[in-house]
């Protein structure tokens, strides 16, 4: 695989994270989202699929490891938000997800807003880690890239 291809995959994964975050924000704002954009565990989102799949080829790079924890934490925070908004019962969240959010208490709304600020902060940390990995790849020679694959 060439450096250009590796960077294209990495950048596509980063874009997938940014899109996921936008869907999270939309859901939290009460906007309907498509079923394939609902919360998923960190290994199943598009970014996680890359990170634990093709991205594993970069696991020997120093910047790679810094990505895992903030990515996991991001999904943990999002699931807390999701449960606050839609409850634990699968049927209630499916009903709410594709309709209106319904009413939540002011206390829950405040909790959601605080968690959302945490999510945005962790997302920033994750993006910084991804950018570090991107810079590390950019500094590598084609031969070094080829040795990873």
pLDDT digit string (tens) for 50-104? 999 999 999 999 999 999 999 999 999 998 988 888 775 544 444 445 444 456 7
Whole-angstrom distance, CA of residue 36 vs CA of residue 44: 11
Asked whether the beta carbons of 18 and 130 are under 8 A apart, the reply is no
Q: What percent of the chain has pLDDT over 90?
A: 65
Minimum mean pLDDT range among 33-37, 67-71, 109-113: 33-37
Residue 133 three-state SS:
helix
Rounded-to-integer distance, Cα 41 and Cα 101, Å:
22
Model pTM score: 0.85
User: Average pLDDT of 1-27?
Assistant: 94
Angle at 19 between CA 15 and CA 23, to 5 degrees: 170
pLDDT the model gives residue 99: 47
Average pLDDT score, the chain: 87
């Amino acid at each position: 695989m060439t450096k250009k291809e590796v960077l294209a995959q990495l950048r596509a994964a980063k874009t997938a994270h940014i899109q996921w975050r936008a869907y999270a924000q939309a859901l939290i704002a009460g906007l309907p989202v498509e079923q394939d954009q609902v919360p998923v565990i960190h290994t199943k989102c598009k970014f996680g699929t890359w990170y634990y799949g093709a991205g594993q080829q970069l696991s020997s790079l120093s910047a790679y490891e810094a990505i895992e924890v903030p990515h996991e934490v991001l999904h943990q925070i999002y699931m807390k938000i999701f449960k606050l908004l839609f409850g634990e019962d699968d049927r209630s969240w499916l009903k709410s997800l594709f309709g209106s959010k319904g009413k939540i208490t002011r206390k829950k709304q405040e909790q959601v807003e605080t968690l959302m600020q945490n999510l945005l902060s962790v997302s920033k940390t994750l993006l910084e880690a991804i950018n570090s990995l991107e810079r590390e790849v950019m500094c590598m020679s084609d031969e070094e890239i080829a040795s990873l694959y």
